[in-house]
Amino acid sequence: MGAWQRLLLCGGVSFRSGCGAFAPRGGSRVLVCRRQLSGGESETLKERRTQIMTRGLPKQKPIEGVKQVIVVASGKGGVGKSTTAVNLALALAANDSSKAIGLLDVDVYGPSIPKMMNLKGNPELSQSNLMRPLLNYGIACMSMGFLVEETAPVVWRGLMVMSAIEKLLRQVDWGQLDYLVVDMPPGTGDVQLSVSQNIPISGAVIVSTPQDIALMDAHKGAEMFRKVHVPGSF
């Protein structure tokens, strides 16, 4: 079996016997002949595919000093996700004053935690060059909104967004927290997947309104968290 067959199968393409032709854009026609894989070959390649996918996933690493992480997500924007995240953080603090609570806003394009927590200003740096969260109502808060002008749009491509998320996850001096509530952006994109795969999450809260369209997207969000083995509440 050729290397190209193994590569395509690892990408989820199954083979049947026969020949066919295709023309890559800007190239000449290419004749591709395929044969039916035997059961043993299929199992071997499936195992190899699993090994490659597992090796490519990032290793989960806890946020230093944080005991439990709760993410608040939604399939669509404007359904009360950030309001729920803020209320959850405040409720956790009110329920037990001995618990240290943090609130992290990873909605890079539309951060709303600074406004909702009545916070302004830039975070200071610690001696270890980590950002110190801003504090109000007894909640330690960090958001992209503290790092850019309030009226300035964040016009970034995916790689820059993921770099910012990595900094918000790993370069903040949270101290010792019992709970960190994470306000996610709406949808099921790179940010949600990256956060879910990079840090251990104790649970997810999926927020929705009762309209059919909103519920449909909320179910997609719940399914995404199920696939990455995050327990959720819908």
Q: Is the pLDDT at 141 greater than 70, yes or no? A: yes
Average pLDDT over residues 159-170: 88
Q: Is the pLDDT at 151 greater than 50, yes or no? A: yes
% of the chain beyond a pLDDT of 90 = 43
Q: What is the CA radius of gyration of the chain?
A: 22
Residues whose CB is less than 8 angstroms from the CB of residue 128 and which lie 6 or more positions away in sequence, other chains included = 173
The overall average pLDDT reported for the chain is 81
Q: Is the pLDDT at 64 greater than 60, yes or no? A: yes
Q: Is the pLDDT at 128 greater than 70, yes or no? A: yes
pLDDT, position 57: 53
For the four alpha carbons of 76, 197, 152 and 126, in that order, the dihedral sign comes to positive
Q: Is the pLDDT at 51 greater than 80, yes or no? A: no
Where do the domains of the chain lie? 3-56, 66-233
Average pLDDT over residues 65-78: 93
- So what's the architecture of 66-233 in CATH? 3-Layer(aba) Sandwich (3.40)
pLDDT, position 26: 53
Average pLDDT over residues 119-140: 93
Higher pLDDT, 197 or 184: 184
Q: Is the pLDDT at 171 greater than 90, yes or no? A: yes
pLDDT, position 187: 87
Q: Is the pLDDT at 3 greater than 60, yes or no? A: no
pLDDT, position 117: 96
DSSP bridge partners of 183: 72, 105
